[in-house]
Structure 1
Amino acid sequence: MRQSWSLDGEWQFLIDPLQAGERESWYDNEQPWNEARKVAVPHIWQREGGELVGYHGVAWYRKTISLPGRDSGKQHCICFDAVDYRCAVWWNGAYIGEHEGGFTPFELSIPAELMQEENQVVLSVFDPKDNAEIPIGKQGSWYTRVSGIWQSVKVEERASSYVGSVLVTPDLDGMKLGLRAELLVGGGHDLKLDYTIRPHALGEENTFEAASYSGELGELGELRSEGRNRPIQVKWDKPVPGMLLWSTEAPHLYEIEVCLSDASGVIDRFVAIFGMRKVEQRDGRIYVNNQPVYIRGALDQAFYPDSIYTAGSVDEIRKEIELAKQMGFNLLRKHIKVEIPEYLYWADRLGMLIWAEPPNFVKWTEAARTRFVSEIEAMLKRDYNHPSIIIWSIYNEEWGLEWDLEFDPEKQKHVAELYDWLKEWDPTRLICDNSGWTHIKTDINDHHRYFACPEQLDEWREDLDELLIGNPDKNFVAPYRSQGEPIIVSEFGVWGLPSVERLKDFYDGNEPWWFINQGEETHQDDYKKPTTALDNMDKFGLASAFGDFETLAVHSQRRMFRAVKSLIEEMRKRPAIGGYVVTEFTDIEWETNGWLDFLRQPKEGFDRLIDFNGACCVFAEVERANLWSGEQVSWELVLTNDDGKRMSGEVKWSLANSAMQGTVQVEVDDVWKQLPGAITFTVPESKAVLPERLVLEWIVEGTCVARNEYELTFTPKQLVNADRESAVAIHGLNAGFQAALEANRWGTAATDTLTNEAVMVTDCLDKEAESFARQGGSVLFLAEKGDGLKASGPFTFRQLAPGESWPRASSMNYVDSRCFDGLPLLPEMGWELEGLYPDYVLPFGDYKKVGVKRTVNMFGNPGTAEAGEVISGYFQGWLGQNGGSIVRHPLGKGYVTVVTWKLIERYGHEPMATMIVNRLLHIAKDGTPYEN
């Protein structure tokens, strides 16, 4: 039988920046080890901090071990779960082999003549700086690099003939298993294989009762492997009537024990864990065990705040997966990383679907492709039996294909061949050829689409309807076309900044090393650097709007919640969408779009994620969030029922701050149901602008199976008719705007009779408007057209990225809400400003203007913020790429209040736009009591 000795624990460690170690025989030379430090393996050398965070090159490891109870008549191997990246191994001073590849296991045979009572193993590990041609994923490119013996090590003792692996292929429709074993035979003697299949021995009370299966796999005769690494493959089909299925709700696991015997008896045992389940795609849906599954997934890059690339403990893994299920997720997309085996095991145990994806390379070369395919094959062999894995990706966003797949027939052929090879290797799972971008051959038509909401809600709806659903062929490289594959939005999301104080507490009061961005040059933008937030918090009106960074972070998280809620609801209202994978499960270093922060703590408001991310949800089609008193409302309800169970009940709706409610009887026998006109009411009268919440509860047999809330505002029309003290002169605006001013009881005056007691309102800051301000006048400059303005005086504008944009999804608009006292404006700007969000800002920092053929670096003007009062602004990520959308700025002896909110066409028609313009006219004239 086998026995093993763990080599985890204390090792010696040395760096070798001059790569002199092998020339100087460090594997058999005591002198250099006098300078070694002690480290604990598994070991990522970047965890040591200091110079090692940024160190790349060669490092050495050494350990002295004894192997008590060793049988000298058996063979011995040293087994590594993963070493990043290239390593060479010496045993008692003799070279025994090397390996290349940073994510998957390998083993090396130890010659019998090298074994001693006390043994010394030495490794040199090389992780190159120029890593573009090796599979790396995001470590060392976006985030902290990972180098060293980063997974477990052991020595294993075996008979000369043994079972190398057992791959189990479930056939649910035929209720049988395909078994494929690899044998390594060291002698020419008769061999026999037997098997036993039983429920996986969990060692816990919840082990399930089920039938076991056993029998002979047959006589193998006289076999001999052709060399140490040339296993013999044998295959069988075995019926398993009554075997319980693996699913997310009931993750039944089995184990198969294969015994290898010769004339003397059993000489080897091998145990593999598997589950009985089936995966396919048809009719625009993913099916598991012949049942449709709506994918509610999260991208998981599996970085950690202290251990970097491995979970700290099994308890941490269990907690993560259990929390993901509580949040409503049924799938985790393990993003460009071969996940550690322990995580996949607990995904199997707890019933979490996995979308697996190999680490990418960057530069398109023959050597890089060879390494990449080798890593994929090693991943397939290691992880084949995990029932949780239902999808294999090949590429992500053409990383490694150099982003020209559409124009390169060689790369198209390469991707198609990889798909065919992988499908032949594993026909039991779905394959995604190029996640998120244009496809060649795929089982999933997935998209990566980043929008910010509420500000881009209309663009998001258009994107879903006209591109994803309306034109699925557009996501394929011609002449390839969609074959009706499930449409999955496999990346989308919005940022929510974390608590810096909580992070510093975790790191013993210090700023973590990754506050200095560890990514390569393309990730050195200011908004990707946490240090930017520390520099900018007291600038650009941020302190006036929020007070301090900790408060800002809470509002940022609320903005994130509001955004992902609306993004997900729009997808779930469209049954043609087969699911989604949000970016992402947790924050990673500087990238803060996680639903959990980097410390695995839920963000503000995220205890209600299940409202829109659960199996059963109820949504309202809120046509407008901001309503006049007296308006008649008729909104539809949409119910989603991913489990497909027939349910009879009712939906109760109510207005939290008004005495209005209603009940709708519902019968649901499908996964999606639409109820037009289910919510009807008349907006009540009030004396002030009223923030309101629409609350929905779906009740079945006395139990609330789903609830939801929507933010509204109600504005009484009598506020429009209040008397105004100031006169207003219109300069350049259309007649409709003047009529709206007069309807709001503003007195209007001709521009040639203006005095400094009046306010000029204009959309054209020409010489006349500038002159009025310079002489002491007050100008309200409605500059929402930005670069389209005929005259803008001394101000320049930056257009915010229209349409899909990853950087914009990191952004937040903000306002000093104290300046609008009496109006329910949130500092982070929510649905109360629906339709009013700016398309342009005054740029305070330098920025890049992306064109069709090139990207142009543009200058910002921080002096605009320094000289003026920023009432409303914009930032991306860690308070970078700053801009202003309401700035009261001195000009000569007067002031110009520049506003890029979209107000002109909405003034007088939409309630919040009307109330805001009325308030801005006062601010333009009198300023604010809160000048920042």
Structure 2
Amino acid sequence: MIYTVKRLGLILLCFSLFNQSFSQEKIPLPEHPRPDFERLEWQNLNGNWAFEFDKKDEGEKAQWFKGTKPFTKTISVPFPWGSPLSGVKDEADIAWYSKKITVKPEWKGKRVFVTIGASDWKTTVWLDGKELGSHEGGYTPFSFELTNIKYGSPQNLVIRVDDKRREFTLYGKQGYGNARGLWQTIYVEARGQNFVDALHFTPDIDKKQVKVTAYLPTSPVKDLDVELTIGAGNQKVVVHEVFPKGKTEYSFVVPMPAARLWTLEDPYLYDASLKLGDDVVKSYFGMRKISTVNLPNTNYKYIALNDKPVYMQLALDQSYHPTGFYTFPTDEFMKNEILLARNIGLNGIRTHIKVDVPRKLYWADKLGVLVMSDLPNFWGEPDKNAQKESEFTLREMIKRDYNHPAIFSWITFNETWGLRTKQEINGKKQNIYLPETQKWVASVYRLAKSLDATRLVEDNSICCGAGHTETDINSWHEYLPGSGWEKHLKTIDENTYVGSQFHYEKGYLQTDVPNINSECGNVWGYEGSTGDVDWSWDYHRMINTFRKYPKIAGWLYTEHHDVINEWNGYYRFDRSEKETGVGELVDGMGIKDFHADIYLSTGNEISRSVKPKEEVTVPLYMSVMTDKNLGNSLNLKVSLYGYDALGQKKTWGSFSKTVPYAPWLQKEIESLKLTMPDEKSVVIAALVLEDNAGNVVHRNFTTFIVEGSTPTEMTLLNGKKAKLVSIEPKNFSNAQWSKKQWNVLDGLKVNGAGSGFFEYKIKVPTDAKFESASFVAEVASKQQFAKDMDKKLAGNEDYMLGAIAEPSQNKNAYPMTDTSRYPSAVSVSINGVFAGRYDLSNDPADHRGILSWHNQPQDRKLYEAGSYGYRLGVNIPQKALEVARTTGEFVVRLEVDGSLPGGLAIYGDKFGRYPMNPTILLVGN
């Protein structure tokens, strides 16, 4: 679990080696960057380019564009400069690129263009010293025609990029890694004399047709023949039309009488090819409809796909890569990004304040994952320059991404970033969301609707005291501890309705639109945020609560993967997996169960203190977000099992019952009555829902802490009786550690970092007669995190503007179990006699640390939440028993030596996984 500087260094080393392999290949990202707008005659220019920083901004005056100056560096395009994959460090705001290109002789008679997928921010291009053009903007493609071509001969293509920081440019979250210079594929292509500038497909499943619109940059002087081909082979449809002279836009309709719809289960794409004169463009589209409908049997508006409501279960996707920043290393990586969401049961992502890479959107189209697409934000005030830049980029992103069926909404602003104006009020400087800015935001909403009437538009994904103006979605953000979700969602449920001012700015009211959360989690829910923690516990509580409130038509969790200062991702920044532990708590359960369309919730509370033999009531809420026909009932299997006061796994009973089922059912159903064990224990109540064919449709669980007295005698699982002598972890008689020793929550858990030991003196009861004995305890290795060090790590903490964070520096942090391990080994000696050496594989924290979560103080802070250990069982040697009979005590030393100094944590009966203190078991005849 070493997700610190060491781990990041390892990541960078791996990708450095990967980068070396790129430089041996010539072309990174060799695929055509836009499968939705592709010409067959094209040449990828990615790969190694000569490169030079222009620190003094003297290149233009010195005519570097002529190509006579030798550049001293080499950069791997299209990776932004400063990113490890680019091969160059970030040394200046202006830089130059140079590469020899050869235009194919067979392209004579065509018009040849160079296209740059994206470059931040002002980009100027020359060919053999002749300027081709200049472009301002950071996210969308642009092209310049090559007019001085020497077919078949090398020519010098030179590019200058000025990425000086400007307050009005759409910076987004480039503090996670700047998209400096070229950051998407650059290529040359041959086009027709009258070429298509954009090709849009507008499906209409109600009329069973698709509208096709071709756009030209200039109007033709004569009519042009148009041939559209949809599909392939026997399924091919060919349509002939005429593009009229004097026009730059022409639309026609193609009937699709038996169209195969694009759905999440069957994301079918129609291939298409348009020939206009001597220009040919390949594309694709999906026959699907985005709208809003009522959830059946309610008046709750839901986002709908093909007229069927979709319960939105999305992830916020920062869409960053640790060594490519805005740019991903391979097409396969982009495909996997979509699969990572899909494979855990999510149905969508929100690409956060970044216009995403077209091939990633292509994989969302191909694999069936919905996308909310954000307009990136500026960081200055909403002046004329910022407004112009925003509107330009919005137009261009909709133009570019119109054909992606996966995109169901455009979000024009996020959390009012950049929309506040500094003003002095009563002598105090304040940042105000002015009424005139709100009017502009509403006008941008209307602009988006005018550019694309087929999708939903959000004016502002709101939080932090600002509200909506005009919007198709009443979205809102909230970050809370798990315990806070019941109160919050109840408030949302009661206050959102048609005509409500809740969530809206003055002068604007809620219309009949879906009410969804568009950012949630606990990453900012605790004082000072959460650092790197086990998110699964709070996540479980949050999702359980959302499923009780069907008026809220979905949620969007922060986030798909970790980034520099947020570690609540489903995956690490390097996309390695995290371990929730739920599969061990309920056999077969995974995170996908939290995203099941049929969900049985036990409510917000997932752990409860109870008494031995107490009869408890467990509320049940059935949330069905599907129209599957499974009959009128499901089978619920309930099992009670867990751990006793010695950490032994036990089963206390099981039963089955039927529960009601119907498509779209949203209902509190009959509660469960459960009788608790007659002993101190941690109990897991596993709930497994099966259909009538025996297929599992959902798994969930809740837990109980049976707070009985600590036993002094027990019958072991082998049938033998034993006397028990326990000691609290904090009551050690001696301890020495090379790095640090400290206790958690007044000694519920004790930690020692590095090498060293804990020693305990445990008295033998005077009446004890024993033949054998053993020692049991819950222990783990113990990594010393940054927050546990006596000195604070220095550094800039403005992560949005480029700070590098140490995840475990946050006071709440306790890194969640993942694919990395932090091993240690503990040697146990008793009364001076060596009893064994035991490997401790890790220092874990996840859902299995039930007691560590249950006993957290509710003070908006976390104290090693979710951490737990392993059950250590040690047979006490006979020599040690003889000493104990003489001295009347056991001296137990748990020691970690310098050969594997991974530290040691010892858990008590109110922390970790098992309800036990370190214990001696005295077994008689």
Cα distance, 1:526 vs structure 2:
9.6
Q: Is the 8 A contact 1:198 1:211 kept in 2?
A: yes
Could you tell me which amino acid in structure 1 is paired with residue 51 of structure 2?
A: F
Question: 1:532: which partner in 2?
Answer: none
* Secondary structure at 2:119 match in 1: coil
Deviations, residues 523-561 of structure 1 (Å, cap 9, x unaligned): xx99899xxxxxxxxxxxxxxxxxxxxxxx7xx3xx311
Question: 1:611: which partner in 2?
Answer: 593
**Matched residues in 1 for 2:673 and 2:218: separation?**
76
**Out of 275, 283, 286, which is 2:286 matched to?**
275
Question: 1:424: which partner in 2?
Answer: 450
Question: Structure 2 vs 1, CA of residues 79 and 61 (structure 1 numbering), >3 Å: closer, same or farther?
Answer: same
Q: Is the 8 A contact 2:105 2:152 kept in 1?
A: no
Question: 1:654: which partner in 2?
Answer: 639
Structure 1's unaligned 5+ residue stretches are 200-208, 226-231, 262-266, 497-524, 530-552, 721-760, 762-806, 819-824, 843-871, 877-912, 917-921, 924-932
User: How do 1:530-679 residues align onto structure 2 when only pairs under 5 Å count?
Assistant: 556=533, 559-605=534-580, 608-621=590-603, 622=605, 625-648=608-631, 649-656=634-641, 657-679=650-672
Q: Is the 8 A contact 1:632 1:682 kept in 2?
A: yes
Q: Is the 8 A contact 1:416 1:440 kept in 2?
A: yes
Could you tell me which amino acid in structure 1 is paired with residue 660 of structure 2?
A: E
Deviations, residues 1-29 of structure 1 (Å, cap 9, x unaligned): 96222211221000011000001011115
Cα distance, 1:620 vs structure 2:
2.1
Deviations, residues 688-739 of structure 1 (Å, cap 9, x unaligned): x31111111111111111112223211226879xxxxxxxxxxxxxxxxxxx
Question: 1:6: which partner in 2?
Answer: 44
**Matched residues in 2 for 1:600 and 1:117: separation?**
44
User: How do 1:185-204 residues align onto structure 2 when only pairs under 5 Å count?
Assistant: 188-198=221-231
**Matched residues in 1 for 2:87 and 2:285: separation?**
43
Question: 2:171: which partner in 1?
Answer: 136
Question: 1:709: which partner in 2?
Answer: 701
Cα distance, 1:224 vs structure 2:
5.1
Deviations, residues 833-876 of structure 1 (Å, cap 9, x unaligned): 7786435599xxxxxxxxxxxxxxxxxxxxxxxxxxxxx94799
Question: 1:177: which partner in 2?
Answer: 210
Question: 1:235: which partner in 2?
Answer: 251
Greater RCO, 1 or 2 (C-alpha within 8 Å, sep 6+)? 2
**Out of 473, 478, 481, which is 2:509 matched to?**
481
- Is 2:122 the partner of 1:103? no
Question: 1:216: which partner in 2?
Answer: 240
User: How do 1:19-30 residues align onto structure 2 when only pairs under 5 Å count?
Assistant: 19-30=57-68
**Out of 334, 347, 360, which is 2:377 matched to?**
360
Q: Is the 8 A contact 1:653 1:679 kept in 2?
A: no
Question: 1:522: which partner in 2?
Answer: none
Question: 1:371: which partner in 2?
Answer: 389
Question: 2:273: which partner in 1?
Answer: 257
Question: 1:685: which partner in 2?
Answer: 678
Structure 2's unaligned 5+ residue stretches are 1-38, 295-300, 422-429, 584-589, 642-649, 713-745, 747-806, 816-825, 827-842, 867-907, 912-916, 919-925
Question: 1:393: which partner in 2?
Answer: 411
Q: Is the 8 A contact 1:436 1:491 kept in 2?
A: no
Could you tell me which amino acid in structure 2 is paired with residue 698 of structure 1?
A: L
Residues 51-60 or 267-276, more deviating: 51-60
**Matched residues in 2 for 1:329 and 1:361: separation?**
30
User: How do 1:198-347 residues align onto structure 2 when only pairs under 5 Å count?
Assistant: 198=231, 211-218=235-242, 220-221=243-244, 223=245, 232-261=248-277, 267-283=278-294, 284-347=301-364
**Matched residues in 2 for 1:808 and 1:660: separation?**
41
Residues 178-187 or 578-587, more deviating: 178-187
Could you tell me which amino acid in structure 2 is paired with residue 60 of structure 1?
A: W
**Matched residues in 2 for 1:293 and 1:809: separation?**
39
* Secondary structure at 1:39 match in 2: strand
Question: 1:461: which partner in 2?
Answer: 486
Question: Structure 2 vs 1, CA of residues 671 and 405 (structure 1 numbering), >3 Å: closer, same or farther?
Answer: farther
User: How do 1:803-814 residues align onto structure 2 when only pairs under 5 Å count?
Assistant: 812=812
Question: Structure 2 vs 1, CA of residues 914 and 126 (structure 1 numbering), >3 Å: closer, same or farther?
Answer: closer
Question: Structure 2 vs 1, CA of residues 22 and 643 (structure 1 numbering), >3 Å: closer, same or farther?
Answer: same
Cα distance, 1:135 vs structure 2:
0.7
* Secondary structure at 2:444 match in 1: helix
Deviations, residues 636-670 of structure 1 (Å, cap 9, x unaligned): 22233322212242011110233222212123113
* Secondary structure at 2:267 match in 1: coil
**Out of 422, 427, 442, which is 2:471 matched to?**
442
- Name whichever structure is richer in helix by fraction: 1
**Matched residues in 2 for 1:382 and 1:106: separation?**
11
**Matched residues in 2 for 1:210 and 1:528: separation?**
57
Could you tell me which amino acid in structure 1 is paired with residue 609 of structure 2?
A: N
Q: Is the 8 A contact 2:609 2:705 kept in 1?
A: yes
TM-score by length of 2: 0.68
Cα distance, 1:63 vs structure 2:
0.4
* Secondary structure at 2:82 match in 1: helix
Deviations, residues 202-246 of structure 1 (Å, cap 9, x unaligned): xxxxxxx9843322223x45x257xxxxxx001122221001100
**Matched residues in 1 for 2:440 and 2:623: separation?**
40
Cα distance, 1:94 vs structure 2:
1.0
Residues 579-588 or 62-71, more deviating: 62-71
**Matched residues in 2 for 1:635 and 1:875: separation?**
24
Deviations, residues 793-834 of structure 1 (Å, cap 9, x unaligned): xxxxxxxxxxxxxx999863889xx9xxxxxx9988965477
Question: Structure 2 vs 1, CA of residues 37 and 809 (structure 1 numbering), >3 Å: closer, same or farther?
Answer: closer
Question: Structure 2 vs 1, CA of residues 707 and 624 (structure 1 numbering), >3 Å: closer, same or farther?
Answer: closer
Could you tell me which amino acid in structure 1 is paired with residue 290 of structure 2?
A: V
* Secondary structure at 1:435 match in 2: coil
Could you tell me which amino acid in structure 2 is paired with residue 691 of structure 1?
A: V
Cα distance, 1:468 vs structure 2:
5.0
Q: Is the 8 A contact 1:278 1:289 kept in 2?
A: yes
Cα distance, 1:369 vs structure 2:
1.1
* Secondary structure at 2:412 match in 1: strand
Could you tell me which amino acid in structure 1 is paired with residue 495 of structure 2?
A: G
* Secondary structure at 1:298 match in 2: strand
RMSD: 3.5
User: How do 1:72-151 residues align onto structure 2 when only pairs under 5 Å count?
Assistant: 72-112=108-148, 117-128=153-164, 130-139=165-174, 141=175, 143-151=176-184
* Secondary structure at 2:196 match in 1: strand
**Matched residues in 2 for 1:189 and 1:718: separation?**
93
- Is 2:370 the partner of 1:350? no
Question: Structure 2 vs 1, CA of residues 335 and 110 (structure 1 numbering), >3 Å: closer, same or farther?
Answer: same
Cα distance, 1:594 vs structure 2:
0.6
Q: Is the 8 A contact 1:811 1:875 kept in 2?
A: no
**Identity between Structure 1 and Structure 2 (%):** 28
Residues 310-319 or 233-242, more deviating: 310-319
* Secondary structure at 2:460 match in 1: strand
* Secondary structure at 2:190 match in 1: strand
Could you tell me which amino acid in structure 1 is paired with residue 286 of structure 2?
A: G
**Matched residues in 2 for 1:692 and 1:394: separation?**
48
Question: Structure 2 vs 1, CA of residues 97 and 468 (structure 1 numbering), >3 Å: closer, same or farther?
Answer: farther
**Matched residues in 1 for 2:437 and 2:360: separation?**
33
Could you tell me which amino acid in structure 1 is paired with residue 690 of structure 2?
A: I
Q: Is the 8 A contact 1:163 1:270 kept in 2?
A: yes
User: How do 1:774-813 residues align onto structure 2 when only pairs under 5 Å count?
Assistant: 812=812
* Secondary structure at 1:625 match in 2: strand
